[in-house]
Amino acid sequence: MPKHGKKKPRKIKFFKKNLKIPEGQNKMLRQFCKENQTTENKVFRKALREYIQNSIPPVVHINPVANTNQLCLFDFSEEDDKNMGTRISFL
């Protein structure tokens, strides 16, 4: 039998973005990175992630209407609660 090695890791895609900032903001950014022992890229990524998560409205999932051929195994009614029976019937 052939040996199975580790799976090849999935390649992560990265995209390069250019950003121009004024000299004053660059000095503040470098000082911030030095004080917090982080890199400029990590600061940009974290700030962008937080901005996107806070500004995008949450996705609302709408439950689709069940098809007429859909089984009703888990649809309980008051009769079922009283009789403690099931809605499965054999013809």
Report d(CA 5, CA 8) in Å as an integer. 9
**Domain edges within the chain:** 19-60
Reported residue count of the chain is: 91
Report d(CA 60, CA 58) in Å as an integer. 6
For the stretch 32-89, pLDDT in tens is: 999 999 999 999 999 999 999 998 887 777 766 666 666 666 666 666 555 555 555 5
Q: Of the candidates 71, 91, 87, which has an alpha carbon nearest to the alpha carbon of residue 79?
A: 87
pTM: 0.51
State the sign of the Cα–Cα–Cα–Cα dihedral 56, 58, 64, 70: positive
Q: 């309980």: which residue's tokens?
A: 76
